Amino acid sequence: MGNGTIQATSTHRLEGMEPDNLLAFLALLGLLRALEAVEVDGDRLRPRLSWSLDNPPLRPVLHLAKSATKGEVAARAADGMTLLAKAHHFDGRKDLNCSEGEARALLKSATDDADHAFLLSALLSDAAVKEAKGATGEPQIDPTPLCLLFGQGHQHFLDRLASVPAQPAPPPRGRGRSAVSLTAEDCLAEALFTPWHRNDPTFSFRWDPEEDVRYALMAGNPTDAAYKAGTQHGANRLAAIGLAVLTLAPEVRAGRVRAAIPGGQWDRQGFSLAWPVWRPPASIAAIRNLLGHPDLRKPEQFAVMGIDGCMMARRISVGKFMNFTRANFITGKDASE
């Protein structure tokens, strides 16, 4: 389960990472990638994750092979983010709407850049296409179901996927002499170790269920900055990096080859994503294997898999926008119900 058991020298409870929030889960994957990407004086932290099932409220716990303070964890993660963000470039493309041939060319162009190829493989496949034709007359690719932005409301997915990881910190909070400027380390430490306040005016990917804001229920004009919902900048940076873990693969669905990702499933209600909850410290490789397990959503198989349950969030449409709901916690107890 742990995919290489380590003796943890230090552990940190990640209070900011809500267990039922898709943005938080993707940010956890990004944290592991970022920490694994850096080495200091020949040492690596060899990060692992577990869940505090015996210490409510439920939160993930970070286990490290080397002693590191919260500040040092944030600093190493920031360094790893800087390295991995270099792979987030898309030749000026703003949206994930290329043709079959364009997708093939993009994938071929990344053969000499492992991180870029890793990212592209989580976004598209030239084998998974839709019936719709593009400007070239070719079928359009079926993108990752985690892409919720296609230009509606001037929100562009690839544009944000390139810019957000490269932006260390949001604009200063407040005005005048009371304005507070944050560093990359500050933002990541906030996302990881403190409850989220979502007071950053930066771009997001609509993975946070709190971004499902129904305009009819708002107290004021949604175009007014005073009523505009904020984001958690550090979490969105980490999640953008974590997306690359969910490698897309073609699958036959309704007689056509469409896109599928680990943990994802389609049914009559649309798309949903599930992620496991476990006790032993697990590496990113072990987590990826669990996400791809065919029994991930079957409570009667949880004990065999070594997990205590899974979270399941559903993709929804609200007008022209898409969001994800808060996840439901499915436990092994559900097997007898």
Query: pLDDT tens-digit profile of 31-64?
Result: 999 999 998 777 889 999 999 999 999 999 999 9
How far apart are alpha carbons 120 and 248 in whole angstroms?
9
Residue with tokens 């940076």: 237
- Look at residue 230 in the predicted model and tell me its pLDDT: 87
Element (H, E) at 333: none
**Tokens linked to 101:** 């041939």
- Look at residue 334 in the predicted model and tell me its pLDDT: 64
How far apart are alpha carbons 112 and 102 in whole angstroms?
18
- Look at residue 279 in the predicted model and tell me its pLDDT: 96
CA 295 centroid distance within chain: 22
CA dihedral 134, 135, 137, 142 (to 10 degrees): -20
Q: 224 burial class (0-12, 13-18, 19+ CB within 10 angstroms)?
A: exposed
Q: How far apart are the first and last CA of the chain?
A: 27
pLDDT digits (tens, 9 = 90+) for 238-261: 999 999 999 999 999 888 889 999
- Identify whether the C-beta of residue 140 lies closer than 8 Å to the C-beta of residue 129: yes
- Look at residue 336 in the predicted model and tell me its pLDDT: 58
- Identify whether the C-beta of residue 28 lies closer than 8 Å to the C-beta of residue 62: no
Q: Can you list the residues of the chain whose pLDDT is less than 50?
A: 216
- Identify whether the C-beta of residue 193 lies closer than 8 Å to the C-beta of residue 187: no
How far apart are alpha carbons 81 and 252 in whole angstroms?
35
- Look at residue 318 in the predicted model and tell me its pLDDT: 85
Q: What is the DSSP letter of 178?
A: G
**Tokens linked to 258:** 């469409």
- Identify whether the C-beta of residue 14 lies closer than 8 Å to the C-beta of residue 269: no
